[in-house]
Structure 1
Amino acid sequence: MEGLQRCFVLHSRPYSETSLLVDLFSEKEGRLTVIAKGARAKRSRVKGALQPFIPLLGKWSGRGSLPILTHAEALSLGLPLFGPILYSGLYLNEVLARVLAPHTSYPELFLDYLNALRELAQANNPEPALRRFELALLEHLGYGVDFLHCAGSGEPVSDTMTYLYREQLGFIASLKPSQWSFTGHQLKALASREFTDRDQLQAAKRFTRLALKPYLGSKPLKSRELFLPQRRSGPS
C-alpha cells in the first residue's frame, strides 16, 4: 500500500466517545498527532496495535493540523519492556514528544530510537541505552559538542585533566571541579558512547541532563516521577 510509513506510538489519549488522539514518531515525517477514529470502540481493528513499543506500518491523510489515521498494522509483537525498563521506554517517548518539532523528518533518529528500544528489551541496566540515545538525540538536534579536544587550546583531552563545560563553546581545561566539569576519561566515553564503569555513566547522565534542559524546559517529566515509588520501596 502506497504511503505507508514505519512508526511508533509515543502517547495516546481519548478523543470524543470512541476515538483517540495518537502522538506518533514516524520514519519520514517525524513527530505528528493523528486522529484514530473509532479506535476506542470494542470492535476496533487497530485498538490493540496503537500501543507504545509496537513497530507499526501506518498511513494518514488530511492537510490540517490533525490528520486522520487511515491504516495501522503491527509489524511484530511489542518489544518486551517491564518494570524500570518500561519506565525507561516511557522516558524516551516523553522526551521525543516534548523536544521534536512536529512534521520534521529525523530518519536516522528513528533508527536510533528503534535500536534503543531493542537494547532496553535485552538490558538489565537501562542506563547505557538511555545515555546513548540522549547523545544521539542531541546530535540530531544540532547540539554538536567536541568531547575530544580542549576548546581553549585545541589540544586532545587528557584522561587525568579536568575540563569545564561551557555551553556553545565546549570543554576548557580547569583546576576547579564543579557540576560543569568532567575528566578527560569521562569525555572520551561520551565521545565513543561506550560506558565501561559507573563513573562514566554518572558523568554521561550529568552531561545529558545539562544539555537537554533547554529543550525540555522546567516542567517535570512524568516518566521520571514513576521511578520515585520504586526508589522509596527499595533498600535504604
Structure 2
Amino acid sequence: MSVSAAAEPKRPRAPARERTVGTRVAGQPAFVLHSYPYKETSLIVDMLTRDYGRVALIAKGAKRPHSQLRGVLQTFQPLSASWTGKNELRTLTDAEWVGGMLPLEKTALLCGFYLNELLVKLLARDDAHPDLFNHYVSTLNQLAHNEPAPIVLRKFERALLKETGVAADLARCADTRERVRAEVVYVVDPERGPRPERAADQAPRVSGKTLLDMEREDYQDAATQAQSKQLMRFLLAHHLGGAPLNTRQILIDLMQL
C-alpha cells in the first residue's frame, strides 16, 4: 500500500548551529572509519558524523607530503569536519583534531577496527544516528581504559542492531509475546526474536537468563558472556548477508572474543 508524502516520517535534521546555508556543513563532530586512495594525491574518507551519519568525502591532496589533512585523518581520533556538496560523494574542506581521548593500543586497537568494519558494512550512508555516535565514543573510551573487550563489544553490537532497526526484543517470545523465562532454552530468529528450542534447530541455543541479561546489559555471568558471543556472531552474520568480517576473524584467532 502506498503512503502519501505527507505521511512519511521526516528524517532527523542536524541542529541549526551545525548547518550553514546551502550545501555546506561546518564543525561537525566526526571520526574516520576507513579511507582509500583516490586518483594520485587524494583520498576518499568514510566518516561517522554525529548529525549526518556515515558520509563519504573526497579529501583532495591529502596524500601530498605537506597536506595539513595528511596527519589529521587518522582513525579513532575525534575530529571537527567541514565539507561541501550535495551528492553522495562530497568534498572535505577542513578537518581539525579535537583531542581528549586516549589512543587505542594492542588488542583495543584491533577491537576499534572491528567496530569500524561493522559500521561501514551495516550503516547506510546519510542516515543520522546521534545516539549511536555517542555510543561509539563511549565504546572507544572503554576500550582505551582497558575495560573487558568481550563485554564492551557485545554492548556495542547490540546497540548497533537496535539503531539500525533489526534488533528483536530478547525479553519476549516471538510467537506468544510472553516474557522469556530464565530456566528455558531458546533460539533467536534474527527477524522475529526468541522462541523455545526445537530438536531440528541449527541456530545457537541460549538460556532465557542470557537473553534477559543481554536486555539489561548485564554480562558479568560467564555463561552469559559465552552464549551472547555465539548469539551475536549468528545474528550479525544474518544481517550482513553472510559477508565476512575480517577483523572479527582476527579477534577470534587471537582472543576468542
**C-alpha contact 1:34 1:69 (8 A) present in aligned 2:** yes
**C-alpha contact 1:20 1:37 (8 A) present in aligned 2:** yes
2:181 match: secondary structure: coil
Displacement, 1:157? 2.3
The alignment-based identity, stated in percent, is 34
Displacement, 1:124? 5.0
Structure 1, gaps ≥5 residues long: none
CA distance in 2, matches of 1:52, 1:148: 36
1:203 matched residue in structure 2: 227
So what's the TM-score if we normalise by structure 2? 0.82
CA distance in 1, matches of 2:252, 2:220: 26
Match runs of 1:40-189 below 5 Å? 40-76=63-99, 79-174=102-197, 176=199, 179-189=203-213
Greater mean deviation of Cα atoms: 49-58 or 151-160: 151-160
Displacement, 1:138? 0.5
2:136 match: secondary structure: helix
Displacement, 1:168? 2.8
CA RMSD of aligned residues (A): 2.2
2:34 to 11, 22, 25: 11
CA distance in 2, matches of 1:228, 1:160: 29
1:183-234 Cα distance to aligned partner (Å, 9 max, x none): 11101111011200221112222222222223323332221343366469xx
Displacement, 1:18? 1.8
**C-alpha contact 1:53 1:79 (8 A) present in aligned 2:** no
So what's the TM-score if we normalise by structure 1? 0.89
Displacement, 1:173? 2.7
CA distance in 2, matches of 1:70, 1:31: 17
1:44 match: secondary structure: coil
**C-alpha contact 2:101 2:141 (8 A) present in aligned 1:** no
1:26-55 Cα distance to aligned partner (Å, 9 max, x none): 111111111111111111112111010000
**Structure 1 segments (4+ residues) deviating >6 Å:** none
1:41-96 Cα distance to aligned partner (Å, 9 max, x none): 11111211101000000011012332110010011055321122111100000110
**C-alpha contact 1:95 1:216 (8 A) present in aligned 2:** no
2:191 match: secondary structure: coil
2:5 matched residue in structure 1: none
- The one-letter code of the counterpart of 2:224 is Q
**C-alpha contact 1:164 1:181 (8 A) present in aligned 2:** yes
Displacement, 1:180? 3.2
1:20 matched residue in structure 2: 43
> CA 1:43–1:102 in structure 2 vs 1: closer, same or farther (change >3 Å)?
same
CA distance in 1, matches of 2:206, 2:253: 31
**C-alpha contact 2:171 2:180 (8 A) present in aligned 1:** yes
> What number of residue pairs does the alignment pair up?
232
**C-alpha contact 2:168 2:190 (8 A) present in aligned 1:** no
Displacement, 1:156? 2.6
Structure 2, gaps ≥5 residues long: 1-17, 21-25
